[in-house]
Amino acid sequence: MNPTPPPSENLFLRSYGAWRQHSVKLTGKLLMLSILPLALLVLWMGILAFGELKQTTARQADAIGEALASQIAAAVAEPLAADDQLSLNIMLAQWQQNPLVAHTRVFTAENRMIAEAGDRVSATRMAPGQGQFNAAVRIQDTLAGQVQLSLASEPFMAPVNGMLRQLAWAALLLALCVGFVAWRMAGNMRRVLQQLGEWQADSPAPGQHRRDELGDLARQLGRRYEDPALQDVTAAESDGIEAGSRDADALSVPEPQLENPTSVAQTTASEPDLNLETSESINPAEVRLPEELGAHLLTPDPTDQSSPAVAEEEGQSDTDSKDEQARDELAPTPTTATQKAVDAAHADAALKEETAITPPAPLETTVLAIRLGNQEALRRLPRPRLMALLGRYREQLGRACELYNGHLQTLHDGTSLVVFHAGECRQDELTHALCCGELLRVLGHDLQVEIADTGITLHLHLALCHAPSLQDVPAEDLAQQPACQTLIEQVQYSRNLLLLDSGLATSDMLRQRAVVRRLASQPGIYCIERLQDPYQAMLEQQLNHFYQQRQS
């Protein structure tokens, strides 16, 4: 056995040895790997930001210093020409009150200082950039002296320091958040690994629900170390199946051809049963014979009528047939999955043939056109009031379309087309369009009340038509459809009435939903007088709901 080497006297070697023996835990590694790159990134960004801000501040300080030096030189020109030192000191003291100015001196043309204000500052306390500025004092283009100005660094560096301080706090908060998340993740991983280390394979492996590498490891261990009892049961079942197959093979060996059945019967009766143990060891429930083999063993030979063994076999066959019938009655009926699959396939084929033979019924579309009339009079309203009126009109129109599943499309002339498709309105697009039109007609009276004090009459033009399916028609091509063009021409005759053409007005489908009357001014055009019940009651409920929402 080798003795332990004595510790080295070198401090660095001892530190290196201690560091090699020390192992960093998983939590510490994750914390270092998450916080250290973040800290380096924040430090690098802080250095770059500080350098850029310092350069920008230096340029600003240079511009401000040159401007202040020029202003001070212009202000002290007259007192310097008059050799009034009192006025010079007073003026410099006034300039000293500026927080940007740290120190100011005035020199004569002979470079002799005659006035001074403020305390002299070192180069580290000056503003970034030049820090100190000189400006010549001229009187009638004659050099009379010189002004020397030093700027303080605090007013210029305070915003930079504040920004860096905020950046540091943000970086610290971010590092804390990242460290907390890494610590939680490391704790969960360490806990799963510890549970896997203490797992005894008598329960599901811990961590199988995870979707990462630890979950894969737990599932792999669970598959590798299965339950020993389950393995024993599986092995026993496989052994039983193999034994049953061997017994079935032994029973399926063909019998030798016998020359004399009587001698065979006598031999069978005289000789003892030598295969008793074998016959007792075979479990009839485990051995499943083919139907042909069972029939062959249980059915006697028709040429062997005189043999007593045949009679015994007949009795045995009757008993076995009764037992098999009883087992068949007690056994559950097997599921006919194949027959179900065949029936389902036939049903699908019949449905496809019926679908291919029967053409789909064409879907209908109802189009509602709405437009604000008397626009020349409305333009005389003040612009804020006109915009409020138009906004209220668009809001009511949008809410009505949303309520009745309509698609809104506005044309260039201001006409709005609301399209109701049968597939989206439960095959009752006409009812949706009628209720929407009547709702907008009643809401148009509210718009009239808002401008009643102006004496302007508000006309709401409404018209309705039934057309073939327009669901696949693009929105920009909707106005080019023949039914929509006829509807746009028809809507101009409306004055707060919902107009219809004669074909739709005389249909039984519409008479079940509304009461119509002929328009006297235009032949062939009808208008909605009122809705039939229960549609009228539903419309009143919707109006009450609208008014309650407006009040709330």
Q: Which of these three, 179, 212, 236, is where a domain ends?
A: 179
Range of the structural domain that residue 36 is part of: 20-179
Residue 416's nearest CA partner among 502, 487, 473, 466 is 487
Whether 175 and 206 map to the same domain: the answer is no
Residues 166 and 218 in one domain: no
Say how far apart CA 506 and CA 432 lie, in whole Å: 18
Same domain, 67 and 203: no
Which DSSP string corresponds to 79-123?
Answer: HHHTT-HHHHHHHHHHHHTSTTEEEEEEEETTS-EEEEEE----G
Q: Of 130, 151, 179, which residue is a domain's last?
A: 179
Same domain, 203 and 166: no
Q: What is the pTM of this model?
A: 0.37
Which residues, in sequence order, are CB contacts of 470 under 8 Å at separation 6+?
Answer: 365, 367, 419, 421, 478, 481
Instruction: Give the CATH number of the domain where residue 154 resides.
Output: 3.30.450
Ordered per-residue pLDDT tens for the chain, 552 residues: 445 566 667 777 777 777 777 767 778 888 888 888 888 988 898 889 888 888 888 898 899 989 998 898 888 888 888 888 888 888 888 888 888 888 889 888 888 888 888 888 888 888 888 888 888 888 887 888 898 899 888 888 888 888 888 888 998 999 899 889 988 888 888 888 888 887 776 678 888 888 888 888 888 888 876 645 444 444 444 454 454 444 444 434 444 343 443 343 343 333 334 333 333 333 434 434 334 333 333 334 444 444 444 344 444 545 455 554 544 444 444 444 445 544 655 566 555 554 443 444 445 788 999 998 888 888 888 888 888 888 889 988 998 888 888 888 888 778 889 988 877 777 778 888 899 999 898 888 888 888 888 888 888 999 998 887 676 677 677 777 888 888 888 888 888 889 998 888 888 888 888 989 888 888 888 998 888 888 888 888 888 887 787 776
Q: What is the DSSP string of 428-468?
A: -HHHHHHHHHHHHHHHHHHHHHHTGGGTPPPEEEEEEEEEE
Domain-located, residue 341: no
Residue type present at position 337: A
How far, in Å, CA of 144 to CA of 448, rounded? 82
145-147-149 Cα angle (round to 5)? 170
Report yes or no on 524 lying in a domain.
Answer: yes
Q: Residues 174, 206: one domain?
A: no
Contacts of residue 319, defined as CB under 8 A and 6 or more positions apart, other chains included, come to: none
Instruction: Report how far Cα 313 is from the mean position of its chain's Cα atoms.
Output: 76
